[in-house]
Chains A and B, each alone.
Chain A
Amino acid sequence: MSSKGVIGFAILAAMLAAALLARWIAPTDPNEQDILNGLAAPFSRGETGNVAILGTDRLGQDVLSRIIYGARVSLIVAFGAVGLSAVIGIAAGCVAGFMGRVAQSLVLTATDIVLSIPFVLLALALISALGAGIVNVIVAFAMVRWAQFARITYALALEIREREWFQACRAGGIGFGRTMLVHVLPNMSGPLLVVASLELAYAILMESGLSFLGLGVPPEVPSWGGMLQEGRNEMETAWWLTTLPGTAIMLAAIGFNFLGDWLRDRLDPGLQQVLR
């Protein structure tokens, strides 16, 4: 496995562990306030004698614990949003690729329109209409990014429908639904996985951006974007409040990007010949 792949998997594993095991590995409750020990620098011994490894914020909440719990929001939003956009986009792409001219132009026009809308503006509009919250962030993301999946799926469909095995399925009397689910989708899975991993990185960035604007999760739920927002006023005095969650966001995005690169290299049959 390439070093990119190792790094990508390591970061994904660390995030998953943080999200799943937060209750046991976080030093304190993320919302436990310790006002007397507010704005403690990393590794400093506060007035009450507690050492906060990555410091505390104005309310004395432990930054490390909040970052660990924040991984939950990032992962839920990322997988939820990418999962939803993949389901919509793959279905739309297959409709465009296999169902005839009318469906094809409808779907392709829709992707053009959707991809030309600035994502943050659309998310702002949606969330002001629907209200802030994890589910609405996911919906907003899927409403735009399904188009990415739809385009890739459409391109793959054009290729697959000319393959002889696709014809052979039809000639064998295999129904359309079964052909799609059992034969076509698995043959598309490689490129789609690559797209999904890159979209995961994008979703994490978007979630942080929306939380920073106050459009994401409610303030009492620790999230990386929200931490940036809260720490932004103390940037000059308490660097750890913005730098550390910012680093977490960056690492997560890099991790998923590396994973995507590794998958792409790994699944590209031309490259594989060379690597072996």
Chain B
Amino acid sequence: MSAPVLQVEGLSIAVRREGRRLVLTHPTNFALRAAQTTAIVGESGCGKSITALALLNLLRPPLSIAAGRILLRGDNEVQDIAALDPGSPAMRDVRGRQIAMVFQDPMTALDPVYPVGDQIAEGLRRHLNMPRAAAIERAVTLLRQVGIAAPEKRVADYPHQLSGGMRQRVMIAMAIACAPRVLVADEPTTALDVTVQAQILDLLRELQASLGMACLFITHDLGVVAEIADDVIVMYRGTIVERAPVADLLGGPRHPYTQGLLASLPPIDGSRRSLRPIPGQVRPPDEIATGCPFVDRCDRALAVCASIPPPVVALSASHSAACHALAMAG
């Protein structure tokens, strides 16, 4: 397997509140490889989106990277993004050029006062020093590449003249404009119709294959995960609880939380069974957990779970989960 394009080592994110520092995500490790899609799954507030923002060093006070390294592998050097000053020119050269981001809500993610072509061209001019005319021409090509009909006309359209799906295509065109090594997509299909969702996922997959980007896909939708991911990371309260290739994870989830997530979805084959929601709700992050983050909602909790953080259990070469119950069984 090729060396990872982006390697996250021991990344933890903290928030400063009333002078105290509160850790939101516990040391997280994962790697993104070229032409592979890694999905981070979890419910609201589990730390998915701040992890995505941290990859671009875009956390704003009171949020900050507390520890860890984010190593971006270039052609001949390795850069630690976590060590760069968030406002520095070096960091800005990475954003949009090496790592690009697609946002959740295409209705608000485009500046309403400029034609979409200019917004795509802006990144090209900024990062590749293209003159305006050449950048607009390239924007037309990019719009065609993301499947927008009559791109030479659309390039002069304002965002409000486009539908939600088209705007998300424009966002994707903006993101891939400078051929980044890593694409971070933060719930890019959540705000779209189901049919448009499928089109956008197809598009992302095609582009990723043809451009060889590493892709980090943030979502809470396991259906989307099944569509697009190669590897899946399941997060709960700022901790990775399980990681596996997509087929293993969806076919044989091992962590009680992942099992709970899957049990709460209706089966696609039409068979009828009652859905089992996970009882309780996510505790707020300022309740400091000493043991397993999932202990209060877990139906297999042991005495040890409340006091000692669970060990990471390797279930196969590529499948692991952090759970006391699994450790004892294994």
Q: Does B97 contact A173, Cβ atoms closer than 8 Å?
A: yes
| Residue-wise interface mask of B (100-123) relative to A, using a CB-CB cutoff of 8 A (1 in contact, 0 not) | 110111001111111000000011
Are the C-beta atoms of A176 and B87 separated by less than 8 Å? yes
B residues in contact with A176, CB < 8 Å? 87
Please state if B111 and A183 are interface contacts (CB–CB under 8 Å): yes
With A172-B126, A172-B174, A174-B126 known to touch, is A164 a contact of B105 (CB < 8 Å)? yes
Does any Cβ of B come within 8 Å of A170's Cβ? yes
A56-69: CB near B (< 8 Å → 1, else 0) gives 00000000000000
Nearest-Cβ distance from residue B108 to partner chain A, whole angstroms: 5
Cβ-based interface call for B58 (8 A): yes
* Contact between A173 and B92, CB atoms less than 8 A apart: yes
Residue of A nearest to B62 (CB): A101
Asked if B222 is an interface residue, CB under 8 A from chain A, the answer is: no
Query: Is A128 interfacial (CB-CB < 8 Å)?
Result: no
Cβ of A275 < 8 Å from any Cβ of B?
A: no
Q: Cα distance A176–B127 when bound, in Å?
A: 15
Chain B minimum-CB-distance residue to A184 = B111
The answer to whether the Cβ of A186 comes within 8 Å of any Cβ in the partner chain is yes
CB <8 Å contact, A174 and B122? yes
- Establish whether residues A172 and B100, one from each chain, have CB atoms under 8 Å apart when the complex forms: yes
Interface SS, A side: helix
* Shortest Cβ gap from B250 to chain A (Å): 30
Known: A172-B126, A173-B127, A176-B87. A165 touches B95 (CB 8 A): no
Q: How far is the CA of A122 from the CA of B58 in the complex (A)?
A: 44
CB distance from A165 to the nearest CB of B (A): 5
B111 contact from A165, A171, A173, A175, Cβ within 8 A: A165
Asked if B93 is at the interface of the complex by the 8 Å CB criterion, the answer is yes
Interface residues on A, range: 10 to 19
B130 within 8 A of A: no
With a cutoff of 8 Å between Cβ atoms, the chain B residues found around residue A171 in the complex are 56, 58, 95-96, 100-101, 103
Q: Are A165 and B109 in contact (CB under 8 A)?
A: yes
Cβ of A276 within 8 Å of any chain B Cβ, yes or no, is: no
A59 to B180, CA, bound (A): 78
Residue of A nearest to B105 (CB): A164
The answer to whether the Cβ of A1 comes within 8 Å of any Cβ in the partner chain is: no
The reply to whether A173 and B112 contact each other, CB–CB distance below 8 Å, is no
Q: Which one, B108, B112, B113, B122, contacts A172 given CB within 8 A?
A: B122
Q: Is B61 engaged at the interface, CB distance under 8 Å to the other chain?
A: yes
B109 contact from A100, A164, A187, Cβ within 8 A: A164
A100 proximity list for chain B (CB < 8 A): 61
B58 touches A167 (CB 8 A): yes
User: Is the CB–CB distance between B87 and A172 below 8 Å?
Assistant: no
Partner pick for B108 among A101, A164, A173, A186, CB 8 A cutoff: A164
* Shortest Cβ distance from residue B162 to the other chain A in the assembled complex, whole angstroms: 14
Contact A170 B126 (CB under 8 A): no
Given contacts A100-B61, A172-B126, A187-B112, contact A167 B103 (CB under 8 A): yes
> Does B207 have its Cβ within 8 Å of any Cβ on chain A?
no
Closest to A164 in B: B109
Residue A117, interface by CB 8 Å: no
The residues of A that contact B87 with a CB separation of less than 8 Å are 176
Whole-angstrom distance between the alpha carbons of A198 and B22 in the complex?
47
Distance (whole angstroms) from the CB of A102 to the closest CB of chain B = 11
Asked if A181 is at the interface of the complex by the 8 Å CB criterion, the answer is: no
What 0/1 pattern do residues 159 to 199 of A give for CB contact below 8 A with B? 00001110111111111100000010011000000000000
Within 8 A of A (CB), among B202-261: none
B263, CB-defined interface residue at 8 Å = no
Assembly CA distance A96 to B94 (angstroms)? 27
Q: Are B113 and A168 in contact (CB under 8 A)?
A: no
Given A100-B61, A164-B108, A167-B58: A173 and B103 interface contact (C-beta under 8 Å): no
Given contacts A164-B108, A170-B95, contact A187 B103 (CB under 8 A): no
25 of the cross-chain contacts (CB-CB < 8 Å) are A100-B61, A101-B61, A164-B104, A164-B105, A164-B109, A165-B108, A165-B111, A165-B112, A167-B109, A168-B103, A168-B171, A170-B58, A171-B58, A171-B101, A172-B123, A173-B93, A173-B95, A173-B97, A173-B123, A173-B127, A174-B96, A175-B89, A176-B87, A183-B113, A183-B114
Chain A interface (Cβ within 8 Å of chain B)? 100-101, 163-165, 167-176, 183, 186-187
Closest 7 pairs between A and B when the two form their complex, measured CB to CB: A173-B95, A172-B96, A164-B109, A173-B96, A171-B101, A173-B92, A186-B113
Chain B residues in contact with chain A, CB under 8 A?
Answer: 56, 58, 61, 87, 89, 92-97, 100-101, 103-105, 108-114, 122-123, 126-127, 171, 174
- Extra contacts besides A171-B95, A173-B96 (18): CB < 8 Å: A164-B104, A165-B109, A165-B111, A165-B112, A167-B103, A168-B101, A168-B171, A169-B111, A170-B95, A171-B56, A171-B96, A171-B103, A172-B123, A172-B126, A173-B126, A174-B92, A174-B123, A183-B113
